[in-house]
């Protein structure tokens, strides 16, 4: 039996991309990952994630990663595709590729579901799945409960960390984690939004950015 696990990293940030990853493994490799200490990426240190990522990529039958940049998130939002739908489309891309690499062997697929409405999200996902006969399970906390999803979460998180580090190097400034809950990120947004808007690092359809623009506009009116 082969297993495909899919998970994301970076759904909520106002800065940077969303990453999705998928791994294709067999049951023996699943047990190897368990012994290595593969678990949900949020329960691991950055150093441990990097160590495990190398082992996961080396031992998996195959893996796939998609990067969804802010421009794509904003562009799809402008035509009515919210983040859940974008993630369903990207998950389907990964599943379609990995299912082909399974070479018709029996495979189970588990996805860490981003939506509170699992059934509706799965129905939308299935519209983009090429092989409608594939057994797909969409679960909450799949990254905790299934080793294949844990492995996918490690790859996704490690890739996102690398992307964020690359952005910081490119613009020459530290904006923190990129999440709206991070004071350093919000301070960066307030000080440098206009300067770095052209760099395409911000998700401009996010409420955080909309609120910033509104505050700026209000201040101009008050100054006038």
- CA 131 – CA 223 distance, rounded (Å): 59
Question: CATH code at 88?
Answer: 3.30.420.10
For 123-165, give the DSSP string: HHHHTT-S-TTS-EEEETTHHHH-HHHHHHHHHHHHHHHHHHH
Question: CATH code at 212?
Answer: 1.10.10
- CA 12 – CA 18 distance, rounded (Å): 8
Task: Give yes or no: residues 216 and 110 share one domain.
Answer: no
Strand partners, 55: none
Task: Give yes or no: residues 96 and 123 share one domain.
Answer: yes
Task: Give yes or no: residues 36 and 77 share one domain.
Answer: yes
Q: pLDDT tens across 36-66, in order?
A: 999 999 999 999 999 999 999 999 999 999 9
Q: Give the predicted TM-score (pTM) of the model.
A: 0.93
Pairing between β-strand 136-139 and β-strand 62-68 as defined by DSSP bridges: unpaired
The pLDDT, as a whole number, for residue 164 is 97
Mean pLDDT to the nearest integer, 15-30: 97
Task: Give yes or no: residues 38 and 141 share one domain.
Answer: yes
Task: Give yes or no: residues 17 and 78 share one domain.
Answer: yes
Task: Give yes or no: residues 8 and 112 share one domain.
Answer: yes
Task: Give yes or no: residues 109 and 136 share one domain.
Answer: yes
What is each CA distance from 113 to 63, 156, 186, 216, in whole angstroms? 19, 15, 28, 36
The answer to whether residue 219 scores a pLDDT higher than 70 is: no
Task: Give yes or no: residues 19 and 93 share one domain.
Answer: yes
Residue located via tokens 């000080």: 191
As for how many domains the chain has, the answer is 2
- CA 81 – CA 176 distance, rounded (Å): 28
Task: Give yes or no: residues 144 and 186 share one domain.
Answer: no
Pick the closest to residue 94 from 23, 11, 158, 160 (CA basis).
23
Task: Give yes or no: residues 186 and 110 share one domain.
Answer: no
The pLDDT, as a whole number, for residue 157 is 97
The answer to whether residue 212 scores a pLDDT higher than 90 is: no
Strand partners, 60: none
Q: What is the pLDDT confidence band of residue 112, given thresholds at 50, 70 and 90? A: very high
Task: Give yes or no: residues 49 and 151 share one domain.
Answer: yes
Q: Which domain holds residue 179?
A: 173-223
- CA 112 – CA 134 distance, rounded (Å): 16
Pick the closest to residue 203 from 15, 2, 35 (CA basis).
15
The pLDDT, as a whole number, for residue 215 is 72
DSSP H helical segments within the chain, as ranges?
27-36, 46-59, 70-77, 83-101, 118-126, 142-145, 147-171, 183-196, 207-223
Task: Give yes or no: residues 192 and 115 share one domain.
Answer: no
The domain boundary residue, chosen from 150, 168, 186 = 168
């Amino acid at each position: 039996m082969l297993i495909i696990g899919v998970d994301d990293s970076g759904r909520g940030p106002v800065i940077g991309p969303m990453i999705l990853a998928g791994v294709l493994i067999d049951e023996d490799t699943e047990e190897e990952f368990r012994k290595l200490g593969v678990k949900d990426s949020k329960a691991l240190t950055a150093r441990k994630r990097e160590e495990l990522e190398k082992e996961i990529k080396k031992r998996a039958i195959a893996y796939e990663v998609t990067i969804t940049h802010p421009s794509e998130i904003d562009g799809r939002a402008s035509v009515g595709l919210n983040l859940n739908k974008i993630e369903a489309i990207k998950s389907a891309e990964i599943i379609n590729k990995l299912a082909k690499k399974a070479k018709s062997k029996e495979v189970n697929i588990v996805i860490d579901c981003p939506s509170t409405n699992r059934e509706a999200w799965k129905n939308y996902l299935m519209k983009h799945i090429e092989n409608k006969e594939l057994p797909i399970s969409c679960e909450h906390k799949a990254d905790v409960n299934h080793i294949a999803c844990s492995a996918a979460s490690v790859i996704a998180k490690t890739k996102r960390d690398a992307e964020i580090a690359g952005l910081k190097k490119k613009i020459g400034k530290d904006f923190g984690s990129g999440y709206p809950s991070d004071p350093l990120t919000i301070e960066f947004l307030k000080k440098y939004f206009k300067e770095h808007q052209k760099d395409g690092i911000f998700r401009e359809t996010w409420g955080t950015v909309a609120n910033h623009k509104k505050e700026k506009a209000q201040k101009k009116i008050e100054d006038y």
